[in-house]
Chains A and B, each alone.
Chain A
Amino acid sequence: MMKYILPAFLLTFLAIVTPAAAVLPDEIMDNPVLEQRARAISRQLRCLVCQGEDIDESAAGLARDLRLLVRERLLAGDSDAEVLAFIQARYGDYVLMKPPVKPATYLLWLTPLLTLLAGLALLLRRLRFKPAEGG
């Protein structure tokens, strides 16, 4: 009977004890440049437990583990791309907030350009026709 999920703008927060952005003081690295990179990278990674959030804002345990892992990799000298690739290798494309550009996602990435071009084409067609055509 309780297959109905309680409607909540914050459904995920039922699973989390405290709704709040989730980086904890003990995770913050001493090097502010690295820490900035870690935060930026974290915002690119989706939390798989609370799938609507990135690991920077999710209070889930896995998110914290991944945040720590990101910082570990940065300390090991990985570039931003390498850190993302490390996590992507284990969790797949789904974990990336920015979908990778590959044949299966060409349509996704080209949508803005394609619709703009289509619109412009229609506009040009419209401007060339004589009156008595529908607008």
Chain B
Amino acid sequence: MIAELGHFALTLALVLSLVQAVVPLLGAQRGRAAWMQVGRQAAWSLLGLCTIALLALIHAYALSDFSVRNVAENSHTMKPLLYKITGTWGNHEGSMLLWIWMLGLWGVLVAQATKLLPAAFQARVIAVQGMIAAGFLMFLLFTSNPFLRLDPAPAEGLGLNPVLQDLALALHPPLLYMGYVGFSVAFCFAIAALLEKKIDRRWATILRPWVLAAWAFLTGGIALGSIWAYYELGWGGFWFWDPVENAALMPWLAGTALLHSVAVLEKRDTLKNWTIFLAILTFSLSLLGTFLVRSGVLTSVHAFAVDPARGVFILVLLALATGGALFLYALRAPYIRGAKPFTPFSRETVLLLNNIFLFSAMATVFMGTLYPLFMSALQLGAVSVGTPYYMATLAPMLAPFALLMGAAPAIVWRAGNPHVTMRRLMLPALVTLALCLFLVLFAVPQKPLLWLALFAGGWILVTLGQDLARKTGGFKSFRYLPLSYYGMQLAHAGFALVIVGAATATQMTTEKILVMQTGDRISVAGYDIRLDGQHTGTGWNYNVDRVAFDIMPQDGGRAFRMMPEKRWYPVAARMTSEAALHLAGLDILYIVLGDNDGNSRNRWVVRIYHHPLIGFLFLGAGMIALGGLVSLGTRRARKPAEGVV
């Protein structure tokens, strides 16, 4: 019954989304307030219907209703309730429904922002949102219906993958989708602006918070995925350049460029073409990501249901949305004018240069991800693109990018003075160089990539500190700076930490692989490690071998215990290895069990890793996301738009 209710809600939602797509658009064109009002009402109703559908599916999962095919394929009675519920979006159909629900949510947020957006503009944005929702609802209903029934209903479900029973992994899609889908708002803003032939500072002011919010969510989603990979995959890797990871990185890079471009447009009324283009590009990359994950054109550990028919449908959606937007852009290009000029040595130039770097990085990731596909399409043979390619192409960009990032606050808008800038940056340059020299000579190994990262991160942090000192009168008064400034510095500092943490964690890792049994000792990275014993036990739906390690830091700190596990899930017939992690300051000591050595149940292959300063990586990622959120609070963003009644 409930599943049918959900199904019905989705069908109604489709009808409503079509209304939402058409009526407010006509209303904006003809100046009919009532019709524009329909748009807002439709947005609310759409969210309501999608909520009913989503809750209906969650309900089916929570109760393990295996008469619903989606539940039977992806769930199991022996899953803990929490993971039954989060399993709702751990599959293609359910995650697509979540995607659409978020589209509804963002639509309502736009509908509610009546005071901030001029009525006609708002109506147009809502209309385009409706079009996107309609497309995806059709996709869901026609190719990926989560409410299909199974008759007779099986007694048990098929979905008991232990790897999915993890909280971080469960939260990762919602955060990610909030980001992906959030950029649809920027996309719709761009279309509405093109329709109205009006791109100006006011447009940028109202757009900015939407971009910030989506970007912050996307950052959080990517960070969470990376954290999960780190502790679950068993050897400390956190990024693999897998196609689906890249599918999230591309909109993030474009979104970061968009964020900065909007900031310039708002401040200086310039970079209009570029901002519109980026707004279209970012959401298009979100759509591309959806396509890549669900169409089966690329091999990935991460891919959802592989069904070419679905792939074709999404490709059509992508073609219509992006193709339509780009066509409109080409059509209205002559109307984008009135941008203020700036001299070669100005902050606009610096920001545009860094935008170009971000775009270039995005294009590189794009090519790396899709080149095997292109070659196969043109039957030119087969290559694969892995980490070495990305390191070779992206690492060189880091130094100029970081240099510009650090130098930007020292260059004024419109027409900067090179002498002033040079003088200002002299001190930070010396400090950074001295710092790096010290580290290189005394503290870190001979690894160029590491030095590059330390230099880049150091430069960003030092210049950041200098700028903060200047603007707060020597760290005295913090009250008169807008929140957006603090948000920006927080995010930039976070970025520096991410670079440094990623570099130290990979370039200064200590690894030890050996066979151990009770009583064996080994010394790794300043820790004395002894296998103390093991015992068996049971968990919720698994049997476990726990091996206890006693660790004594050689510098005299407190001893501690680490207990990695080997779990056997009998129903799923799967074995997993749960690593033990110990955080010491910003370093992590990481122990993971391999198989038993030979036939002895007391001898284990043990892998021990020490990842120095990896805390910086995750802390930095969090700071970036937080910086975005802090910037949202800035008062300027909440001023009502002019011309709004």
Contacts of B576 in A (CB 8 A): 18-19
Report the minimal beta-carbon distance from B357 to chain A, rounded to whole angstroms: 7
- Interface contact B385-A20, CB-CB below 8 Å: no
Contacts of A98 in B (CB 8 A): 386, 388-389, 392
Contacts of B513 in A (CB 8 A): 23-25, 28
| A85 interface residue per 8 A CB criterion | no
Give the distance in Å from the alpha carbon of A21 to the alpha carbon of B240 in the complex.
Answer: 13
- Interface contact A135-B164, CB-CB below 8 Å: no
CB-contacts of A89-121 with B (<8 A): 92-100, 104-105, 107-109, 111-112, 115-116, 119-120
B interface size (C-beta, 8 A): 93
Report the minimal beta-carbon distance from A76 to chain B, rounded to whole angstroms: 24
Pairs A–B under 8 Å by Cβ, sample size 10: A7-B305, A9-B229, A20-B592, A20-B593, A24-B594, A52-B242, A107-B371, A111-B363, A127-B349, A133-B339
CB-contacts of B352-395 with A (<8 A): 352-353, 355-357, 359-361, 363-364, 367-368, 371, 375, 380-389, 392-394
A-B contact count (CB 8 A): 222
Report the minimal beta-carbon distance from A3 to chain B, rounded to whole angstroms: 7
Provided the pairs A14-B574, A28-B513, A97-B388 are in contact, do residues A5 and B340 lie with their beta carbons within 8 angstroms?
no
Report the minimal beta-carbon distance from A40 to chain B, rounded to whole angstroms: 10
| B417 interface residue per 8 A CB criterion | no
- Interface contact A133-B337, CB-CB below 8 Å: yes
Give the distance in Å from the alpha carbon of A4 to the alpha carbon of B93 in the complex.
Answer: 11
Give the distance in Å from the alpha carbon of A51 to the alpha carbon of B385 in the complex.
Answer: 11
- Interface contact A92-B382, CB-CB below 8 Å: yes
- Contact with B169, one of A3, A5, A9, A25 (Cβ below 8 angstroms): A9
Contacts of B367 in A (CB 8 A): 107-108, 111
- Interface contact B301-A11, CB-CB below 8 Å: yes
Report the minimal beta-carbon distance from B174 to chain A, rounded to whole angstroms: 14
| B538 interface residue per 8 A CB criterion | no
- Interface contact A19-B303, CB-CB below 8 Å: no
| B79 interface residue per 8 A CB criterion | no
Q: Give B302's nearest chain A residue, CB to CB.
A: A9
| A81 interface residue per 8 A CB criterion | no
Q: Mark B290-304, 1 if CB is under 8 A from A, else 0.
A: 000000000111111
- Interface contact B344-A112, CB-CB below 8 Å: no
Provided the pairs A52-B299, A108-B367 are in contact, do residues A5 and B306 lie with their beta carbons within 8 angstroms?
yes
| B37 interface residue per 8 A CB criterion | no
Q: Give B273's nearest chain A residue, CB to CB.
A: A134
Contacts of B340 in A (CB 8 A): 131, 135
Q: Mark A1-32, 1 if CB is under 8 A from B, else 0.
A: 11111111111111001111101110010000
Majority-rule SS of A interface residues: loop
| B91 interface residue per 8 A CB criterion | yes
- Interface contact B383-A93, CB-CB below 8 Å: yes
- Interface contact B389-A99, CB-CB below 8 Å: yes
Report the minimal beta-carbon distance from B452 to chain A, rounded to whole angstroms: 16
| B263 interface residue per 8 A CB criterion | no
| B274 interface residue per 8 A CB criterion | yes
Give the distance in Å from the alpha carbon of A55 to the alpha carbon of B389 in the complex.
Answer: 17
Q: Mark B267-294, 1 if CB is under 8 A from A, else 0.
A: 0001111100000000000000000000
- Interface contact B371-A94, CB-CB below 8 Å: no
| A132 interface residue per 8 A CB criterion | yes
CB-contacts of A57-84 with B (<8 A): 57
- Contact with A100, one of B338, B383, B574, B577 (Cβ below 8 angstroms): B383
| B437 interface residue per 8 A CB criterion | no
- Interface contact A123-B577, CB-CB below 8 Å: no
CB-contacts of B380-432 with A (<8 A): 380-389, 392-394, 396-397
- Interface contact A115-B359, CB-CB below 8 Å: yes
Contacts of B169 in A (CB 8 A): 9
- Interface contact B387-A97, CB-CB below 8 Å: yes
Contacts of B387 in A (CB 8 A): 43, 54, 97
Provided the pairs A94-B384, A104-B381 are in contact, do residues A21 and B235 lie with their beta carbons within 8 angstroms?
yes
Contacts of A116 in B (CB 8 A): 356-357, 360
- Contact with B371, one of A19, A24, A105 (Cβ below 8 angstroms): A105
Q: Mark A34-64, 1 if CB is under 8 A from B, else 0.
A: 0000000001101000111110010000000
- Interface contact B163-A5, CB-CB below 8 Å: no
- Interface contact B384-A96, CB-CB below 8 Å: yes
Q: Give B90's nearest chain A residue, CB to CB.
A: A7
- Interface contact B341-A131, CB-CB below 8 Å: yes
Contacts of B347 in A (CB 8 A): none
- Interface contact B232-A19, CB-CB below 8 Å: yes
| B520 interface residue per 8 A CB criterion | no
Contacts of A130 in B (CB 8 A): 341
- Interface contact A54-B363, CB-CB below 8 Å: no
Q: Give B340's nearest chain A residue, CB to CB.
A: A131
Contacts of B301 in A (CB 8 A): 8-13, 50, 52-53
Give the distance in Å from the alpha carbon of A126 to the alpha carbon of B355 in the complex.
Answer: 14
Give the distance in Å from the alpha carbon of A92 to the alpha carbon of B383 in the complex.
Answer: 8
Contacts of A6 in B (CB 8 A): 74, 91, 158-159, 161
Report the minimal beta-carbon distance from A25 to chain B, rounded to whole angstroms: 5
Give the distance in Å from the alpha carbon of A128 to the alpha carbon of B36 in the complex.
Answer: 43
- Interface contact A7-B91, CB-CB below 8 Å: yes
Report the minimal beta-carbon distance from A53 to chain B, rounded to whole angstroms: 8
Q: Which of A10, A17, A131 has the most CB of B within 10 A?
A: A10
Contacts of B22 in A (CB 8 A): none
- Contact with B575, one of A4, A12, A18, A28 (Cβ below 8 angstroms): A18
Provided the pairs A4-B73, A9-B163, A105-B371 are in contact, do residues A135 and B363 lie with their beta carbons within 8 angstroms?
no
Contacts of A100 in B (CB 8 A): 383
| B118 interface residue per 8 A CB criterion | no
- Interface contact B360-A119, CB-CB below 8 Å: yes
Contacts of B343 in A (CB 8 A): 127
List the 7 shortest-distance A-B pairs measured between CB atoms, nearest first.
A97-B386, A21-B235, A119-B356, A135-B339, A20-B234, A98-B388, A135-B270
- Interface contact A10-B305, CB-CB below 8 Å: no
Contacts of A115 in B (CB 8 A): 356, 359-360, 363-364
- Interface contact A17-B595, CB-CB below 8 Å: yes
Report the minimal beta-carbon distance from A93 to chain B, rounded to whole angstroms: 5
Extra pairs beyond A5-B306, A97-B388 (13, CB < 8 Å): A6-B159, A17-B574, A19-B577, A24-B605, A25-B513, A43-B387, A51-B299, A54-B387, A98-B386, A104-B381, A112-B360, A123-B356, A135-B340
Q: Mark B131-166, 1 if CB is under 8 A from A, else 0.
A: 000000000000000000000000000110101100
